[in-house]
């Protein structure tokens, strides 16, 4: 199973794990978050992240999700990338749930599914669409 490390500003990663647990009905295994701030020294944070990757990797690889491309957490993730470790920026709940749902596949498949989950999770909708959906689901 692919391990998942979420590296974000503040408590965002922990909140996403909590929300995913709610959506999925159980706490997912082999998933942890790591909070990184702009003032954190990458030379101190990096060894901690590498240690988490080691713990999460059961031999199938680790997907590292970051919140914002180019920000401090993502810059840490870039230094973690190696064979068997992939990084994706822009983490969201749809991305995380999709990644969790496919983590018995290969790392490359989980990366594809995470990205598609993030893209497909961004949707503009109207109140009329929501009303139609509610009416259809109550039948």
Q: What is the pLDDT of residue 42?
A: 78
The CB-based long-range contact list for 8-11 (8 Å cut-off, 24+ gap) reads: 8/33, 8/34, 8/35, 8/36, 8/66, 8/67, 8/73, 8/91, 9/35, 9/36, 9/37, 9/38, 9/67, 9/68, 9/71, 9/72, 9/73, 10/35, 10/37, 11/35
Asked whether the predicted pLDDT for residue 83 surpasses 50, the reply is yes
pLDDT band at 129 (very low <50, low <70, confident <90, very high): confident
* Number of structural domains the chain divides into: 1
**Domain with 103 in it:** 3-137
- CATH number of the domain encompassing residue 105: 3.40.50.510
Asked whether the predicted pLDDT for residue 82 surpasses 90, the reply is yes
Mean pLDDT confidence for 10-36: 96
pLDDT band at 107 (very low <50, low <70, confident <90, very high): very high
């Amino acid at each position: 199973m692919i391990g998942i490390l979420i590296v974000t500003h503040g408590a965002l990663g922990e909140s996403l794990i909590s929300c995913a647990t709610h959506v999925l009905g159980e706490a997912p295994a082999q998933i942890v978050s790591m909070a990184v701030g702009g003032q954190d020294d990458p030379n101190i944070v990096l060894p901690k992240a590498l240690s988490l990757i080691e713990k999460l990797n059961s031999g199938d690889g680790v997907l590292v999700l970051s919140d914002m491309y180019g920000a401090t957490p993502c810059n840490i993730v870039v230094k973690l990338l190696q064979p068997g470790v992939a990084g994706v920026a822009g983490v969201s709940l749809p991305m995380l749930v999709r990644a969790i749902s496919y983590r018995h596949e290969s790392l490359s498949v989980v990366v594809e599914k995470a990205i598609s989950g993030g893209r497909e999770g961004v949707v503009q909708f109207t109140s009329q669409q929501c009303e139609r959906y509610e009416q259809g689901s109550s039948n």
